[in-house]
Each structure stands twice: as C-alpha cells, then as structure tokens.
Amino acid sequence: VSISIIQVRLVMKAHSFVRENVPKVLSSVKEKTGPVPIPRITQYLYFLFAPTLIYRDNYPRNPTIRWGYVATKFAQVLGSLFYAYYIFVRLCIPQFRNSSQETFNLRGLVLCIFNSILPGVLILFLVFFAFLHCWLNAFAEMLRFADRMFYK
C-alpha cells in the first residue's frame, strides 16, 4: 500500500512539474525570445522532497534549520507509532482472536467490527497526526521550506 501511495505522489508531482513548465517553454519557443527557460535539476530535486504538490521555481525558505524542532517532530512520530501499536494490540487483536476460536456466526463478526470502530478511528487520527503534521513538518524544517500551510 505504501508503495502505491508513493507512486501516486510522484505522479502528481510529475504532473505539476510538466503543467508548470511546458507553457513557459512553448511560449518561449513560439516567440523566440532568447534561451528556453528550462528548470535546473536542483530545483526539481528540491521539489521532489518538499512537502508540496505545486511546482514553483523558487519557494520561500527559512534562514536556518531548527534541529530541536526536527527531533521533537520525529519523537512525536515515534510516539504516535507506539501508541497506535498499543491501541491495536490492546483493543483490536483481542476482539478478533476470540472470534477466530469460535464457529463463524454473523452476529459475532458484526460485534467484532463495531467494537473495533473506535480504536480504528483513533489509529487513523494518529496516522494523520504522525504523517501530515509531524513527518511533513520535520522534512519541511530540514529543507528550510517556509510555506507550512499543509492544511489549506
């Protein structure tokens, strides 16, 4: 699943890169106004790792990297993973372990699913927090990426 997500992200980034640069190149070739504006490879590599899906030649940058902030965000990711593991082991696995020892009945399956809804939602919130807030902010800080409007 994670490989598929990474591939979708890379396809979206490639689409944004092409969509932003092809009109500039075509208008430059059509007007023949000097050199063709082709982006540098460093700009494209920065875009691949920056937490954004919209390509620009330049992004706002912070002057320094706050390593304490990066360490805090990675610690929060690690804490979220441990907490999700704890929720999964304590609340989800026992429900299905007990049902696997009994004969199949629809009532038991429905009860297991309904008893796992709340822990599943908690795990989804933890994944949202760990990836979209902590992970992306840590990499944005390491890349000195100043535009942190992930949620807008």
**Which of 58, 77, 97 is the last residue in one of the domains?**
58
**Which of 25, 41, 58 is the last residue in one of the domains?**
58
pLDDT in tens, 77-125: 999 999 999 998 998 888 777 666 777 788 877 888 888 899 999 999 9
Q: Are residues 74 and 147 in the same domain?
A: yes
Give the structural domain span for 37: 1-58
Quote the pLDDT of residue 134.
93
The b/e string for 88-127 (b: 16+ C-beta within 10 A; e otherwise) is eeebbeebeeebeeeeeeeeeeeebeeebeebeeebeebe
Q: Are residues 41 and 87 in the same domain?
A: no
pLDDT at 151 exceeding the cut of 80: no
Mean pLDDT of 55-83: 94
Q: Are residues 12 and 74 in the same domain?
A: no
How many structural domains is the chain composed of? 2
More confident of the two residues 49 and 73 = 73
pLDDT in tens, 6-54: 899 999 999 999 999 988 888 888 887 778 788 889 999 999 988 888 8
Q: Are residues 39 and 93 in the same domain?
A: no
Q: Which of 78, 71, 94 is nearest to 141 (CA)?
A: 71
Predicted model pTM: 0.73
